[in-house]
Amino acid sequence: MKRVFFAPYRLGSEGCKLLAQSIGAIRTKATKRFKRDVLLVNWGRSNLYPRGKPARILNPSDKVIRATNKLSCLNRLAESGVSKIEHTASMEMARAWLREPGVVVYGRMLLNSSQGKGIVIITRPEEIVYCPMYTKGILNAHEYRVHVFSNKIIDVTKKRRRNDIDRNDYIRNLANGWVYCRDNIDIPNSLTTTAKDAVASLGLDFGAVDILFRKNIPYVLEINTAPGLTGTTLSRYVHHFKHLKNL
C-alpha cells in the first residue's frame, strides 16, 4: 500500500480536502522531501517540483500548466485531432466570425481562470476588443462534464438550468443558474471517447472535461485538473484513488 500525498493548487480546496480525508492521504505544499514509496497527486498545481523521488506523480506540473492555460490546451487538442471549439488568437479572425449570421464570440481576457472570469461576450464586429484568445460560440448546445481517470470514464454530468433564479445562457455557471445533474441523461459514445482522447492528448492521468454537444458532434471546451467534488462524483474519485493506492 502506497502513502499518498496531495499537492493542491491551494490548501483550502474543499474538493481536494474531502478526497484526501476519504482515502487517508495527506495534503502538502510539496516542500518536503518525498520517499520512493510515495504516490504524489498534483491537484491543479502548476508549480509542483518535488524534492526526492516519489514513486509516481499523477498529473505532473508541465501537463497541468498546458491544460490550465486555455490557449495552450486548445492548441494541443487541435494538434492531436481532438474535436474542440473553434479558437483563435487573431482579432481579425474573430471579427470575421462576427460577420456570420447569429454568431457570438467569447473573448478571453484571462487564459487561466474559471467560473466565467475574464470572459467578454461579443456579438457585433464593432464591439471587438483585444483578448489573448477568442472562441466561437456554439449556441443551443448541451454541455457535459466527463470525468476521466486512468483512461476510464468514472462520472458524467450534464448542465441544466435551475428554475428558481434568473439565468444567463451565455455563461453557464452556478452563479448564472446552471447546475450539473446526472439523472435521466443520455451519454453518447462519441462524448466519452472524445473526453478520453482529450485527457490523453494532454498527457494527464485524470481530468474533468467540459464538452459542448450539438447535432451529434462533441466540442471540448477545457479540461479541469482540480474539479469540484461533491456527492456521487466525490465517491467515485474516492473509489478509484483507493484502488490505485492499493496497487
At 90-114, the pLDDT tens digits run: 999 999 999 999 999 999 999 998 7
231-245 and 14-23 helices cross at what angle (nearest 10)? 50
Question: Given pLDDT bands bounded at 50, 70 and 90, which one contains residue 51?
Answer: confident
Q: Which three cell numbers stand for residue 73?
A: 490546451
> pLDDT at residue 16 above 70?
yes
Average pLDDT, the chain: 90
pLDDT tens digits, residue range 174-184? 556 667 788 88
Dihedral (Cα; 191, 196, 202, 208), 10-degree rounding:
70
C-alpha torsion sign, points 170, 172, 173, 177: positive
Q: Domains in the chain, please, with CATH? A: 3-58 (no CATH), 65-84+140-224 (3.30.470.20), 87-136 (no CATH)
The gap from C-alpha 120 to its chain's centroid, in whole angstroms, comes to 20
Q: Is the pLDDT of residue 241 over 90?
A: yes
Strand order in the sheet with 133-136: 87-88, 133-136, 105-108, 119-122
Distance CA 127, CA 185 (A): 37
167 — pLDDT class (breaks 50, 70, 90): low
Mean pLDDT value of segment 198-221: 97
